[in-house]
Structure formats: structure tokens, C-alpha cells
Structure 1
Amino acid sequence: MNASHPAAAGGVLIVGGGLVGASLAIALDAAGVPATLIDAAPPQANAAASYDERNLALARASVNGLKAIGVWPHAAPRATAITHIHVNRAGEFGSARLDAARHDVDALGWTLPARELGAALARRLDECRLLTRLAPATLSALEPIDGGWRATVRAADGERTLQAALVVGADGTESFVRERLGIAVERHDYGQSLFVCTITPERDPAGRAFERFSDDGPIALLPLSERRCGLVLTVPAHDADAVAALDDAAYAALAQQRFGWKLGRLARPGRRQPYPIRRVAATRLTGPRAVLVGNAAQTVHPIGAQGFNLGLRDALTLAELVAGAADPGAAELLDDYAARRAPDREGTMTMSHGLVQLACLPQPLLAPFRSLALLAYDRVPPLQQMLARRGMGFRGEPPRAVLETLP
């Protein structure tokens, strides 16, 4: 196990062992950079597969990056390719369609149970040679020192003190690291709640993913193995309790009414509960010898499934910069990181926020303009290419790790 390696003073300390934090730790290890990973969750043996599990939509760029750091071989057997994407709005004539073959790729992205990605990351973490893992452990204090930070960590075997030249906050939406750095956030409550579950349609989705907008919010179906789909349903927040109380038949009927009949009858919805949808964006990404990644930097609306994909590009960009630096916490490096991430981060946040505001706005006068915009993305080759590249996760200056199969 990795815990036999001492935490090197002057190294990198990653706070948060979720999907993004673990990916960063692996990317640094692959680049030959020692790091310490603090994870609040204890290591877990692989759980049995379940019908009721959260599913991720991984952009093509994300899968390229996971291949580059050696994670994808552990995850690929349970992944399902997305070969087509269909976007429309209920009651309006326009739609936009993406076809992998049209863009000379085998898939636009892949779907994968979140549990499977977590298990793949855990297996790859076990292969790391330069990584110190502390789990379960929590960061209880963070103090600036000359040339870095002193971190107090509480673990099962007691309290210990670590020193690091760079602290990475990968500790989620309510980040302790971000708060300790004094970085403010901008919050927006969408007035919506999200339900996620697995559902079985009458007809095989056959690699097709769907996103449909309405006055009540977006609904998405993602293709999975065994003719199943991942269902993502948003409802107005004031309806969340009533929707949560629906039995399976009534919930399937609601999903049917919102999605339509493109895949026939929807049945067997899995367990679900509501999650309030809010955008939380840090006003800056860096502090003195510290940086934020993933949800600690930005928690976005789940429309378009951008959250993990954006966070992984954070992690891979940071690993790329640190791998070539003598001092991982140098101000110039962190300035470069913020500049590199700005176009992707700002573009993705603007897209997700603007799309949900425009596409779900109950304004009949906007209907023809929305439809014409979707038709333009469907029919105008430069717009279609731009939509496809961004949908596949290629925006701004991507990390080199994702560019292997850039179309």
C-alpha cells in the first residue's frame, strides 16, 4: 500500500479523495511527482453491481485523459459508448443531433456507473508508487509557513502534521480549503431539484443519449448496458417532495410525460431522492501556494453532464504544469494554471447557466428563436463541428493528456 511512503516536506498535498482528487493524485504519480492524498472516506472493497446506481456521462476528452493516466483499462468493461446525442425542447420544432460517425470518431463519449469509476480509480491508486494515502482522514487545520503550508490531519491512528509547497483543494462544493484561503464564492439557486436513477425503456437506446428541455427543466436519458438508461430528471424545487413521494408507476409516468415515446414505454425506475441544484463558483482559483480543482472551484448545473468532465480537465492541467516545475507552488505556475483554465471554465459555466436559463424559460415568443438556433447547430457545418468538439470536452487549451484522439 502507498501509506508506507513518508509525506515529503515541500511536496503536493491533495485534500479530498473523490473522483477529481483521486484522478489528480494518479496523474501526479504517473508524472513522477510525490504527493499526499487526504481522503475522508475509508478504502472500500468493490461493492456488488446494483440496478440503482448513479451514472456518469464521460466526454471523449475525459476518456482520453483516463487512458493516459492508466485508469480506463480498469473501467472500460462496464462503459457504454455514446454514438448519438439528440437535443430538443418539448413542443418546439427545432432539434440538434450529433453523430460520432459524422465527426470521424467511434464515440462522442461513454457512460459509466459512478461506482465503477470509483473502483477503477481505487485500483489505479493501489498501483501508485510515489503517493501517500491517508484514509480515512480529515484536514483540521491549515497554517501558512515559509515556502508552503503546515497541515494538521486527523486520522484513525491519531493526529499528524504535514508540510507542503502546494495545497490542492479537491474537497467539494463546501470546501474547507477554499474557506481557509478566504476565497469567496458566487452562488445561484436555480429553484430546481434533481432526481437521478436507472430506468428500462421498451426499446434499446443503442448508444443514443437524449436531452430534452421544458418549462419544468431538462430531462436526460443516457444509454447503459442491458437496454437500460440513466435517467436525469429536474423538477421545480417546490414540486420535489411530491415527486419524491411518487411510487414507481407514477414516477415512470412522469418521466414518460416529460421525455416522450422515442424509446417506447419507460419502466422499472430505480430508487431516487431529490438534490437541490445550485451553482457555486469560486471568485478565483488560486491562493498563495494553493489551488482549487473540481467542485471546490466550480459546481455547475448538471445540464450536459459537465461537472466531473470539467474537474478532470482541472486535474490534468494542474498535473501537467506541476510535472515540469521545480517548485509546484510557485506563483508563476499558479498564474499559468488559472490562465489555462479560464477559457474552458468560463465557457462551460456560461454555457450551462445560459442554456438552462434560455432553454427552460417559459416564454412562447422565444420558441421560434430557440428552434432556429438548434436547427443551425444541426445543419450548419461549422456550428455542428463547434458543438461536437465542445460536447466531447475539447475547449480552450486542453491538457495534453486528452488530445490523443482529438478529431
Structure 2
Amino acid sequence: MSTDYDILVVGGGMVGATMAYALSPLPLRIGVIEAVPFKSDSQPSYDDRAIALAYGSAKIIATMGLWDRLADRVSPIKQIHVSDRGHFGVTRLDSAAEKVEALGYVVENRVVGAVLAQALPKLENVELICPATVTHVDLMADGAHVSIHGEDGARQLSARLVIAADGGNSVVRQLLQIPTRSWDYGQTAVIANITPARHHQGVAYERFTDSGPVALLPNAGADDPKRCSLVWTVRSGDAERLLNLSAADFLAELQQRFGYRLGELEKLGRRHAYPLKLLRAKQQVRPRLALIGNAAHTLHPIAGQGFNLGLRDVAVLADVLADVLAEACGKGEDVGAAAVMQRYADWRRWDHRKVIGFTDTLARLFSNPLAPVALARNIGLCAVDIVPPLKRALTRQTLGLAGKLPRLALGLPLQKNE
């Protein structure tokens, strides 16, 4: 089957755009379908949401050649302090002990988006198809047909492989009737930027409470070096009340939950709320199809694993496709074949299960008010802090360096230089 593209990436958000950029060094014709026009003129503001990039994720981005465009806009996480409100348990992770520059980096979503929006249009083998929405997907033995509706009306595109990176409410997943497993945590994440009286010193705080974790991450701005990004998990019925509180009352209630490790909480940015659920697609691949990022797995934000897991999806899929092309030696190997998709799925299975299990267990365990459970989890926190093998295992997971790593995470390009 003659196709318009080798690969169609559906979704031009951070995971989808990164997928296209990661594949661009390979001899592939790539199309990116996105419902919203790409913009490169966005400027960061105090109220921007942020993500925590693990050390391994930063390495993937650096190997792709994008880190230099982000390096002066990130805040390094030098230490992580984990505690349980009202209890004795505490765990501390330190970048110096791991001999790395940082355990991770906090960066505003808008900054990453702007870098990708500037980079993608310059790639000769990547075509941006936007604004356009997908209306139908047909996976066949020798290719895939994707129907879209854009500014010029309806069109039909063909490809050897469709990569769905269109988020937790994936249209591709729904059109193909791929079943999911889901769990509503009954919690909502309230997100804002906070400025405390004391400088964060590069420390990320995760404080567990009976309604969910409170995370404060270093996110220094040019005009506000003490700024932190807040992710405050609350019971869903309480979110609206918090959004409607005055800034002073909101900060006072947060202060009571978080404590005074950073002194008085002084400044509050605009607040947003996002309901939390666990979702996992029962099929993450089919012949001609791969689901990546939130289209395949949507996690609780506890421990900040969601985007990092999606970025490893990108790196592994790029690795697998690079190998397929190398093995073909220019003979037209089928990048969407069932065996190729299964190779990707097999590689990702362990990481998906481990991270999803880890975040789900933490979310449930630390929201359980029963005294025996609280005692057990605090003993566990202390054990991790003082038992080197336990701390090492947690740190490797936090760094994004656990398990079999793809080339991009090892600092190796997808293709050898000729």
C-alpha cells in the first residue's frame, strides 16, 4: 500500500511533539495532527503550570538536542524531602549522594511547548497538520487510513503507523473502541504558584496528608527566585471551596497543611483544579497503532511520574523503530507491523506496571487514615531513609534510570554517524 506518510502522530502536545522530534533523524515521512494551531510566541507567566523532569528525562531531551534551549529556564531539584503530616516518617533524597547534578528539573509547560513549536516547523521530514481533528481511524493489514476535518474540510490520510498521543481523553482510543481500566480517586489537584518567605534551595517537598499529598517544587522565575509550583491534592468535594477562598485564606489553610519549612507563604498565583483518576488502556498496541503518554496511561500526580513515563514511551518507541529501519537496510521494513508493535509493548510493560503500581499504591496508602496503616507507612519512610538498598531503589526510580534504558536515555543517538 502506498501511503502519504510513514508515521502519523495524533496529538501535538508535549508527548506527541516530542515523539515527532525524536523520530526526525530517521528516514521517515512524519505527519503531526493537532487540533490547536502551533504557537511559538507564547511567553511564560507567573501562573504557568510546570512539570518535574526526572534526570533521565532531561538526558533524553539533551540527546535529542533540545536541552540547550531549556537549560536556562529550568530549576534543578537538588534534594527531595518526603514526610507524613502529623507523623514521624521522613525520607530524604540527595543529588550529591547520587553524584548527579540534580535529581530532576522543574520547567513550565509553556516553555517546553514554545521550544517544540519553534523546532518542529524547521524539520524537513515533519509536516504539521493543524488545526485538524481526527474523525475516523481504519487499521488495515497493509496500512492505516485516518480521516480528519480541518480548515479546508474533510481529508483522508494514509500511513504505515499511527501513534496516538492525544491525551487521557484520546479520540483515537475511543474511535477504535479500545477498552480501559479506570479508577476515580475522588481527589482533585489544585495547582498554583506560591512564593514563600525562604528560598527553597533547590529542595522539592512532598508532604502527605489525610486528604492527599501537598507538593511544593522549586520553580524560580527571573523576577521571583523563591517561587515554587504547588500541587495540592484534596478531596474532590473540597476543591471548589479552595478555589473560591481569598488569597490570604487559601495561603493560611495551605500553611496549616504544609507547615513552616519555607517560612510564611507570601504570594499566590492563579489557581486551577484538575480531577484525578487512574486510567490505563487494556491494549496499548495493535498492528499499525501505538498508544503513548496519557492516551495509554493517566496517573495520579503523586511523585510526578506521568510525563516522565510518557517521555520514556517516546524514547523506547523511537529506539525500536530505529532498529527496525537499520535491520531493513533500506528494504522498506514495515514500521507498523504487528511484530514491531509487540516489541515496543514488551519493552514498556515492566516500566508501565512498576510506575503505575508505585503511584497508585502511594495515593491509596497515604490517604488511609487508619492508625495501623499510618504506623506501617511511617516505618516504611524511615526504613527507606536509613537502609541504603531501599533508598537506592527509590532514587533510581525517581531519576528515571530503572530497568532497561533506550539509547536516548543513555546519551546515544538513534543513528550512528556515517
Question: Normalised by the shorter chain, which TM-score bucket?
Answer: over 0.9
Q: How many residues align?
A: 399
The 1-side partners of 2:388 and 2:122 are apart by 44
Q: Give 1:10 shift.
A: 5.4
| Structure 1 position 139, deviation (Å) | 1.1
1:147 aligns with 2:162: no
Q: Distance in 1 between matches of 2:388 and 2:59?
A: 25
Query: 1:137–1:155: 8 Å Cα contact kept in structure 2?
Result: yes
Task: Give 1:3's aligned residue.
Answer: none
Tell me if the contact between 1:185 and 1:281 (Cα under 8 Å) persists in the aligned partners.
yes
SS at structure 2 position matched to 1:332: helix
Deviations 1:1-35 (A, max 9, x none): xxxxxx95351111000110000000010233321
54-63 or 146-155, which deviates more: 146-155
Cα offset for 1:249?
Answer: 0.5
Separation in 1, partners of 2:247, 2:3: 53
| Contact 2:137/2:145, CA 8 A, preserved across alignment | yes
Which moved further from structure 2: 184-193 or 119-128?
119-128
SS in 1 for 2:269: coil
Aligned pairs (5 A) from 1:57-206:
57-206=52-201
Q: Which amino acid aligns with 2:381?
A: L
Q: Do 1:195 and 1:234's aligned partners in 2 also have CA atoms closer than 8 Å?
A: yes
Gaps of 5+ in 1: 1-6
Cross-structure match for 1:342? 349
1:399 matches 2:403 = no
Provide the residue aligned with 1:310 in structure 2: 309
- CA contact 2:195–2:265 (8 Å) conserved in 1: yes
Cα pair 1:205 1:223 within 8 Å, conserved: yes
Work out whether residues 30 and 69 of structure 1, in 8 Å CA contact, stay in contact via their aligned partners in 2: no
**Contact in 1 for aligned 2:40/2:117 (Cα 8 Å):** no
TM-score w.r.t. the length of structure 1 is 0.95
Q: CA deviation at 1:379?
A: 1.1
Deviations 1:75-131 (A, max 9, x none): 111101101000010011111100000011110000001100111111221332211
Query: Whole-Å Cα distance in 2 between the matches of residues 145 and 102 of structure 1?
Result: 52
Is the Cα–Cα contact under 8 Å of residues 33 and 323 in structure 1 kept in the other structure? no
SS at match of 1:36: strand
Q: 1:157 to 1:101 in 2, by over 3 A?
A: same
Partner of 1:30, secondary structure, is coil
Letter of the aligned partner of 1:112 in structure 2?
Answer: V
Q: Quote how far apart the aligned CAs of 1:146 are.
A: 4.2
Counterpart position of 1:378: 385
Q: Check conservation: 1:72, 1:120, Cα contact below 8 A.
A: no
Pairwise mapping of residues 220-231 of structure 1 onto structure 2 (< 5 A)? 220-225=215-220, 226-231=225-230
Taking structure 2 as the reference length, what is the TM-score of the superposition? 0.93
Contact 1:28–1:34, Cα closer than 8 Å, also in 2: no
What is residue 361 of structure 2 aligned with on the other side?
354
1:236-271 residue CA offsets vs partner (Å, 9 max, x unmatched) = 111111111111001111111111000000121111
> Do structure 1's residue 289 and structure 2's residue 257 form an aligned pair?
no
Deviations 1:349-389 (A, max 9, x none): 00000011111211112222212111111111111111111
In structure 2, what is the equivalent of residue 387 of structure 1?
394
1:46-61 matches, within 5 Å, as 46-61=41-56
Compute the displacement of 1:132 (Å). Answer: 1.1
Q: Which residue of the partner structure matches residue 273 of structure 2?
A: 274
Provide the residue aligned with 1:4 in structure 2. Answer: none
Q: Do the aligned partners of 2:320 and 2:340 also contact (CA within 8 Å) in 1?
A: yes
Range 135-144 or range 338-347, more displaced: 135-144
Question: 1:394 offset after TM fit, Å?
Answer: 1.7
Q: Deviations over 1:196-232 (max 9, x none)?
A: 1101011000110000101111000000111100011
Measure, in 1, the Cα distance between the counterparts of 2:260 and 2:5. Answer: 58
8 Å CA contact 2:5, 2:30 repeated in 1 = no
Determine helix, strand or coil for the equivalent of 1:277.
Answer: strand
Q: Distance in 2 between matches of 1:95 and 1:33?
A: 49
